[in-house]
């Protein structure tokens, strides 16, 4: 009689009838494994990187390359007696984003190249060497373009402030050793022209 009742009762679940359920646990396990594998692939950052298109990979690698020097003007250093000392090619950083980036991420720079930072007013300034791989000489100048402070051979990858010590409107960054080689001193002046 137990068998008759079991046949008459409606059952639910995976194992309602042994004949019908044969092989179903394997199907459910296989489906669960497929879901887990697809989630691992979808949310794995390494897999996503492999799926990036060739154009995307090229643009990412281009962003990580050493920025190229682009001549935007010329700058002349004059001794305090107004005799010309040395002329260099410069890039100009005259907007907030350009000033913030400065020479970050550069891996090389020639002796005759530099960057001129132009601020809208004369004020106390402070730079740092965050993400800057090149040792630099940092030259602060007042509104009359007269050198008021020089920091020579500043340590790379450093977030310590490098102050102007007096109000400055212009800053010139050149490769470390430049000021020693060309005898650049406080009191010297500059002039510059954009091209």
Contact in structure between 162 and 136 (CB atoms under 8 Å): no
Task: Give the pLDDT confidence score for residue 1 in this predicted structure.
Answer: 47
Q: Which two tokens stand for residue 193?
A: 């022209």
pLDDT of the residue at 60: 45
| pLDDT < 70: residue spans in the chain | 1-24, 41-65
pLDDT score for 128: 96
State the Cα–Cα distance between residues 108 and 151, nearest whole angstrom.
19
Q: What is the pTM of this model?
A: 0.68
Domain residue limits, the chain: 2-63, 73-194
Q: Give the pLDDT confidence score for residue 24 in this predicted structure.
A: 67
Sheet strands (E) in the chain: 73-78, 84-93, 113-127, 136-141, 147-154, 162-175, 189-194
Concatenated DSSP letters of 113-146: EEEEEEEEEEEEEEE--TT--S-EEEEEE-TTSB
* Phi–psi pair at 163, nearest 5 degrees: -80, 160
Residue 105 DSSP code = T
> So what's the pLDDT on residue 175?
98
Pick the CATH number of 73-194 from 2.60.40.420, 2.60.120.1140, 3.40.50.300, 1.10.10.10: 2.60.120.1140
| Percentages (nearest 5) of helix, strand, coil residues in the chain | 30, 35, 35
């Amino acid at each position: 009689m137990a068998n008759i009742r079991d046949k008459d009762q409606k059952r639910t679940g995976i194992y309602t009838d042994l004949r019908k359920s044969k092989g179903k646990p394997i199907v459910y396990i296989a489906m669960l494994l497929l879901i887990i594998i697809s989630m691992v692939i979808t949310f794995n950052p390494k897999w996503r990187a492999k799926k990036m298109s060739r154009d995307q990979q090229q643009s990412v690698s281009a962003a990580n390359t050493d920025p190229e020097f682009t001549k935007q003007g010329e700058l002349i250093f004059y001794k305090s007696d107004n005799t010309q000392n040395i002329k260099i090619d410069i890039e100009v950083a005259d907007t907030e984003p350009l000033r913030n980036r400065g020479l970050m991420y550069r891996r090389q720079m020639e002796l005759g190249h530099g960057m001129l930072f132009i601020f809208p007013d004369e004020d106390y300034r402070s730079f740092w060497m965050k993400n800057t791989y090149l040792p630099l000489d940092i030259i602060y100048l007042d509104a009359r373009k007269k050198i008021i402070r020089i920091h020579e051979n500043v340590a790379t990858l450093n977030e310590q402030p490098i102050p102007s010590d007096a109000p400055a409107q212009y800053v010139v960054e050149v490769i470390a050793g430049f000021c020693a080689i060309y005898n650049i001193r406080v009191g010297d002046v500059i002039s510059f022209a954009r091209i």
